[in-house]
Amino acid sequence: DYAAASPEKSKVFSIDEFVMEDEIDSVYFEVPYFLEPQKNAESAYYLLLKALKESKRAGVGTFVMRDKEVLGMIRPYQDDILIVNRLRFAQEIRDYKQLKLPPKKEPKAGELKMAISLIEQTSETFNPAAFHDTYAEDLMKIIKRKAKGTHIKKVEDEPKESGKMVDLMAQLKASLEHSKKNKKVS
């Protein structure tokens, strides 16, 4: 049964349609893969790259990866290369309406103004190099220490307090004051 349901293996990305990139919500995105042209397909590769770039569109289709049919979006990246973003199928996205959210409550004007002020004061241009996978770094340190024969103590998680109400306004005010002080020092 599994063999009959398995898609036929192929290195071909089958484009079914072209869409505007911004039509695809980020909730569908999974993993990006850089594409390079196959031998003797360089002209077609650069033609598709330029056509997608100028039309501001992306190709959506399927390909087979590890015996599984995968949905993907092929698009230009940095104007130099094609990239495939693996996408989730619609049935893989959880319906957020199933969540138990409290009823919507309009914030007070002052609270909203303060929150927007905090967002504006702490806004930066996104720099992915500023973020690091500390788990991987910490794991490598532990592995190296273990390789040297050092005994590693397990760090116990601190118990989390439950039922404690968070005063968001107090946190926002404190954060704004801290942000203002840091801006004056800079």
Which neighbouring-strand residues pair with 17? 60
Which pLDDT score is estimated for 48? Answer: 96
Distance of CA 89 to the CA centre of its chain: 16
Which pLDDT score is estimated for 35? Answer: 93
pLDDT band at 6 (very low <50, low <70, confident <90, very high): low
pLDDT for residue 39 is more than 80: yes
Sign of CA dihedral 159, 160, 164, 168: positive
Which pLDDT score is estimated for 164? Answer: 52
Sign of CA dihedral 130, 134, 138, 139: negative
Which pLDDT score is estimated for 157? Answer: 62
pTM above 0.75, yes or no: no
* Domain boundaries defined on the chain: 2-92, 104-124+167-186
**pLDDT mean over 20-34:** 94
Fold of 2-92: Ku70; Chain: A; Domain 2 (2.40.290)
Segment holding 64, helix H or strand E:
strand 57-65
Instruction: State the Cα–Cα distance between residues 81 and 128, nearest whole angstrom.
Output: 19
CB neighbourhood size of 58 (10 A): 23
Which pLDDT score is estimated for 134? Answer: 87
Token pair belonging to 174: 């404190």
3-state SS class at 86: strand
Residue with tokens 């484009």: 15
Instruction: State the Cα–Cα distance between residues 181 and 91, nearest whole angstrom.
Output: 48
> For the chain, what is the radius of gyration of the CA atoms?
24
